[in-house]
Copies of this chain bind each other. A is one copy, B any other.
Amino acid sequence: MPDPAPPADTLLDAIRAVVGDRGLLTGRADTAAYTEDWRRLYQGRTAAVVRPGSTQELAEIVRLCAAAGTPIVPQGGNTSMVGGAVPNEDGSEIVVSLARLNRIRDLDPIDMTMTVEAGVTLKAAQLAAADRGCLLPLSISSEGTAQIGGVLAVNAGGNNTVRHGNARDLVLGLEVVLPDGTIWNGLRRLRKDNTGYCLRQLFVGSEGTLGIITAAVLKLVPQPKEIEAALCAVQTPEAALDLFTRFQAHDPAAISAFELMSGLGLSFVLKHIPGATLPLETAAPFTVLVELATPRPQAGLRAMLEQVLERALEDGTVADAVIAESEAQRASLWKLREEHSEGQKREGASVKNDVSVPVSQVPAFIRKATAACEALIPGVRVVPFGHMGDGNIHFNLEQPVDADPAWFLAQDHAIMDAVNDVVREFDGSFSAEHGIGRLKPYMMPDWRGGAELDLMQRIKAAIDPGGIMNPGKVLPPRP
């Protein structure tokens, strides 16, 4: 267990000698932005925020902290949904910001790979890829702020997972500073390499508890040349799933997104967001936003979209549908989806669940979880939305119309428990894409306990025997 005492002045002096004044922030005013998460779930304290300028500097910092037994909290864009990048309250932990490791080291449009440092924002990496005619196929709402290191540490998902997988699926190689300050250079650009244990996938998703990712080799794909989007009104989640399987049978590689929205959630967007309009005749219980994309010119996507929708309209699977006729129309369809969180916020207090189930079980899950929540809190407004194509539903609950927001928010654990009980029935996950961070380690014994958690604890102890890497995150304290 790391020492809960604040770091000694001698350690801070030694760190300053490595990174210079520019690389070290101390004092409440300068460090405040690094000690609170953006959701304001946690307010931590720290004696120092270290901003190394190179992997070598970081390695030296980690060596110093390891020798002193001082814990480290790695931080990228600090956009964690689960408090994964903030220090605790006792002031014993040092924050290491990766922001200055912000070079794109390499981009090869023949290999279709780029080598990016941890502090590059996801948006900057996307733009650098686009500059060379490539697409980095990962998109999340925080991409302007989130940094590659954090994106990989949490295995981010997002809208395009249905086509290109999670962040994990895009990683060919990593550079990591290990808990003893050693640098592991695993920045290989190989599509095939069977030489021992797959270490990179151990660090991806480990949320900074096993080491600090400093750079990565990411896979790219060609930019799409045709994109088509449609908004489809359906009566039930079963119809939405049916529609998904039809597109999947035609060509899963063409589906770049398949997003489900509830009629109620959509109504909040239409009510509160300026400029949001529904291009369909009438509102429906559920609405699907499907987007198809391909790098092939003249690929006939539009014809495929029309064909699938025509059949679905004929047989009643889809009640109404509209296809975007321009980039502006496509953007306005996406606005309906992207403003869901904001619409919910303006409507009142809400409780959020980032859960997943097998794709085939999404409709049954939505029905059962809806019933469970309505039984728990009469008048609660159930507004599920999200990535139906990969079984990841943001199963959100909006307060009853006239309820006290504070009272409703105080029911959050009861609501989460009710939803999670249903998730468990369908062999789902209580954290689909947001990770565990500091918010959910307490849930790990119940969900991933026994052999699985024991393996994780053994791996943690083997790689970080001093326990200095992001303590209190992911794994619960040992009993």
Contacts and interface: CB of A to CB of B under 8 A. Distances in A.
A210 to B, nearest CB: 8
B435 A192 contact: no
Contact of A251 (B198, B206, B294, B427): B294
A324 B296 CA distance: 22
B111 A358 contact: yes
A444 B196 contact: yes
Interface string A97-120: 000000000001011110000000
A190 B431 contact: no
A87 to B, nearest CB: 21
B252 A195 contact: no
Contact of A427 (B189, B297, B360, B474): B189
Contacts of A328: none
Given A166-B192, A251-B299, A390-B192, A199 B455 contact: yes
Interface string A358-399: 111000000000000000000000000001001110000000
A391 B110 CA distance: 11
Contacts of A232: none
Interface residues of A, number: 92
A452 B186 CA distance: 8
A300 interface: yes
Contacts of A40: none
B475 A196 contact: yes
Contacts of A390: 191-192
A306 to B, nearest CB: 13
Given A112-B248, A250-B295, A252-B222, A196 B448 contact: yes
A356 interface: yes
A155 interface: yes
A146 B195 CA distance: 20
A28 B241 CA distance: 56
Interface string A302-338: 0010000000000000000000000000000000000
B459 A190 contact: no
Most buried by B among A193, A253, A447, A453: A193
* Number of this chain's copies in the complex: 2
A293 B2 CA distance: 55
A304 B300 contact: no
A471 interface: no
Nearest to A355: B192
Given A184-B452, A249-B222, A204 B198 contact: yes
A478 to B, nearest CB: 14
A451 B392 contact: no
Contact of A360 (B111, B222, B435, B448): B111
Given A428-B190, A461-B462, A436 B195 contact: yes
A433 B192 contact: yes
A429 B193 CA distance: 6
Interface string A175-213: 000100011111011111111111101101110001000
A475 B296 CA distance: 44
Contacts of A7: none
A298 to B, nearest CB: 7
A140 to B, nearest CB: 12
A429 B359 contact: no
Interface string A65-81: 00000000000000000
A474 to B, nearest CB: 6
Given A199-B452, A451-B183, A241 B194 contact: no
Q: A-B pairs with the 3 shortest C-beta distances? A: A201-B201, A462-B462, A253-B253
28 contacts: A110-B360, A112-B359, A162-B191, A183-B451, A189-B427, A190-B356, A190-B428, A190-B432, A191-B392, A192-B390, A192-B392, A192-B433, A195-B429, A195-B436, A195-B448, A197-B459, A197-B474, A199-B456, A201-B202, A202-B459, A222-B248, A222-B251, A249-B295, A251-B295, A253-B294, A299-B299, A299-B300, A300-B300
Given A162-B191, A194-B205, A198-B202, 5 more contacts: A110-B241, A110-B359, A193-B431, A194-B432, A299-B299
